């Protein structure tokens, strides 16, 4: 029986993935308060049910950054996603292309830019962190341009990696050398489907885009050490000039949670922002995206394209985010669960669920197009 919801896909992913990989997808930082707020606050947003409207024809399409999209959604950049299924990012870009939405490739993906480009049938987006080695960043942007990437997502809320207790408990982080490798290998062997699909047939097990700088030291512990040593905590708004000089396409700043930062992004020439707290994986205790989004959309929504992520689990959640002021959303954990559960086919089915849920939600709120989803659709808080 096919999964009926994202909850079903999460459970399938939990069953099929080694424990350390599932915890990496599923977890957040510290006590995970923000991770849970993202979901709970969004689900609390009440929609106005409207009746006796002609909703026989509903159009879910939109355009973002000059790109026509069948849904107001994109697949968010997810690190290590290619470890969830055989050459996972390649499966994901194919599913996104078939659905008519953008795919975003993470800097720290298993499949590199060129491999994903070979699998793609439409332009994809590329996500970049600020790294100490500016020449390495420049090279990544050149490679993304050569691959025809249509937008750059510059993630700004990770000058240092967040503290994620689950990763330490599972053995993904904090277990270096032979001991950590054995622990992860045992967990992998306990999941025969994953062991065959990824462990044996999914090689190479490396982070394709950063493999040139990791060299022979390509283990998971080497990756985390590289992150700690190479992510740049000195980055400021002035560094946006470097990105703008090197990238002449649409530039999306991801990780905005405060309207003053949104104003800065607009003033410095960004084309879009993603209102995001990194899925609750960075600073715990900050507001949910749901709480932060309306003020940010009011502040800069007329000047740049406001996207949002965090806590989205259904098509109704997509509608809620749009009603709060977003022009589109990034789906993160949803596609990671679906990929782990059933590869490309799982992502395609998950996106069909989102589409069907949006169709029903729009029909029952009286909206027939994406531009009709506004704050008037929401029930005012009591």
Among 183-197, 215-229, 268-282, 353-367, name the one with the lowest average pLDDT: 215-229
- For tokens 């070979």, the residue is 118
Closest CA relative to residue 65, chosen from 331, 322, 245, 327 = 327
Identify the band that residue 216 occupies on the pLDDT scale cut at 50, 70 and 90: low
Residues 29, 281: contact at Cβ < 8 Å? yes
Locate tokens 């949002």: which residue?
308
Which among 66, 76, 129, 83 is positioned nearest to 105, based on CA atoms?
76
Residue-wise pLDDT for 294-344, tens only, equals: 999 999 999 999 999 999 999 999 999 999 999 999 999 999 999 999 999
Label each residue of the chain as H, E or C: CCCCCHHHHHHHHHHHCCHHHHHHHHCCCCCCHHHHHHHHHHHCCCECCCCCCCCCCCECCEEECCEEECCCEEECCCCCHHHCCCCHHHHHHHHHHHHCCCEEECCCCCCCHHHHHHHCCCCCEEEEECECCHHHHHHHHHHHHHCCCCEEEEECCCCCCCCCHHHHHHCCCCCCHHHHHHHHHHHHHCCHHHHHHHHHCCCCCCCCCCHHHHCCCCCHHHHHHHHHHHECCCCCHHHHHHHHHHCCCCEEEEEECCHHHHHHHHHCCCCEEEECCHHHCCCCCCCCHHHHHHHHHHHHCCCCEEEECCCCCCHHHHHHHHHCCCCEEEECHHHHHHHHHHHHHHHHHHHHHHHHHHHHHHHHHCCCEHHHCCHHHECCCC
Catalytic residue, candidates 36, 193, 205, 278: 278
CB-based contacts of 212, cutoff 8 Å, min separation 6 = none
**Strand 62-64 vs strand 151-155: parallel, antiparallel, or unpaired?**
unpaired
pLDDT score recorded for residue 91: 98
358, 102 Cβ separation under 8 angstroms: no
For helices 315-323 and 289-300, angle between their N-to-C axes, nearest 10 degrees: 40
Residue 119's pLDDT band, with cuts at 50, 70 and 90, is very high
pLDDT more than 90, % of the chain? 74
Residue 278 annotated as catalytic: yes
Q: State yes or no: pLDDT of 288 exceeds 80.
A: yes
The rounded percent of the chain whose pLDDT value lies above 70 is 95
Residue with tokens 């990770």: 158
Q: Which two tokens stand for residue 289?
A: 């995206």
Alpha carbon 200 to its chain's center = 27
pLDDT at 178: 67
Assigned token pair, 116: 């994903």
The span from the CA of 292 to the CA of 308, in Å, is: 10
What pLDDT band is residue 282 in, cutting at 50, 70 and 90? very high
Q: Give 53-97 pLDDT, tens digit per residue.
A: 999 999 999 999 999 999 999 999 999 999 999 999 999 999 999
Mean pLDDT of 122-143: 92
- According to the model, what pLDDT value does residue 205 have? 78
Tell whether the torsion through CA atoms of 65, 106, 139 and 113 is positive or negative.
negative
In whole angstroms, what is the distance from residue 367 CA to residue 382 CA?
24
As to burial, measured by CB atoms within 10 angstroms (0-12 exposed, 13-18 middle, 19+ buried), residue 268 is middle
* Across 172-183, average pLDDT: 72
pLDDT value, residue 14: 97
Tokens 């949006």 map to which residue? 358
User: Measuring CA to CA, how many Å separate 340 from each of 45, 83, 91, 195, 227?
Assistant: 29, 9, 11, 12, 24
∠ CA 292-285-160, nearest 5°, is 95
How far apart are alpha carbons 246 and 145 in whole angstroms?
10
With a cut of 80, say whether residue 179 has pLDDT above it.
no
């Amino acid at each position: 029986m096919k999964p009926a919801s994202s909850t079903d896909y999460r459970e399938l992913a939990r069953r099929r993935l080694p424990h350390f990989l599932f915890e990496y997808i599923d977890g957040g930082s510290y006590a995970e308060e923000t991770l849970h707020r993202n979901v709970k606050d969004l689900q609390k947003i009440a929609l106005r049910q409207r009746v006796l409207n002609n909703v026989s024809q509903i159009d879910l399409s939109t355009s973002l950054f000059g790109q026509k999209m069948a849904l107001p959604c994109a697949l968010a950049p997810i690190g290590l996603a290619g470890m969830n299924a055989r050459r996972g990012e390649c499966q994901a870009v194919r599913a996104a292309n078939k659905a008519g939405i953008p795919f975003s490739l993470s800097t720290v993906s298993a499949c590199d830019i060129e491999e994903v480009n070979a699998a793609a049938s439409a332009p994809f987006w590329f996500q970049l962190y600020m790294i100490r080695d500016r020449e390495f960043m420049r090279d990544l942007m050149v490679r993304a341009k050569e691959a025809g990437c249509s937008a750059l997502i510059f993630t700004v809320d990770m000058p240092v990696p967040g503290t994620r207790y689950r990763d330490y408990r599972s053995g993904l982080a904090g277990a270096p050398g032979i001991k950590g490798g054995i622990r992860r290998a045992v967990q992998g062997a306990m999941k025969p489907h994953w062991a065959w699909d990824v462990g044996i047939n999914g090689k190479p097990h490396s982070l394709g885009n950063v493999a040139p700088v990791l060299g022979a030291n390509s283990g998971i512990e080497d990756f985390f050490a590289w992150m700690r040593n190479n992510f740049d905590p000195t980055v400021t708004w002035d560094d946006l000039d470097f990105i703008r000089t090197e990238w002449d396409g649409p530039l999306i700043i991801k990780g905005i949670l405060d309207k003053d930062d949104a104003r800065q992004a607009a003033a410095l020439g960004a084309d879009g922002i993603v209102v995001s707290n990194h899925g609750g994986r960075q600073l715990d205790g900050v507001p949910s995206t749901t709480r932060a989004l309306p003020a940010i959309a009011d502040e800069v929504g007329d000047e740049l394209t406001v996207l949002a992520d965090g806590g989205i689990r259904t098509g109704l959640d997509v509608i809620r985010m749009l009603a709060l002021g977003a022009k589109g959303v990034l789906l993160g954990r949803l596609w990671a669960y679906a990929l782990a559960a059933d590869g490309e086919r799982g992502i395609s089915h998950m996106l069909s669920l989102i589409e069907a849920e949006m169709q029903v939600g729009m029909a029952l709120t009286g909206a027939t197009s994406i531009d009709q989803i506004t704050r008037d659709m929401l029930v005012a808080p009591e």
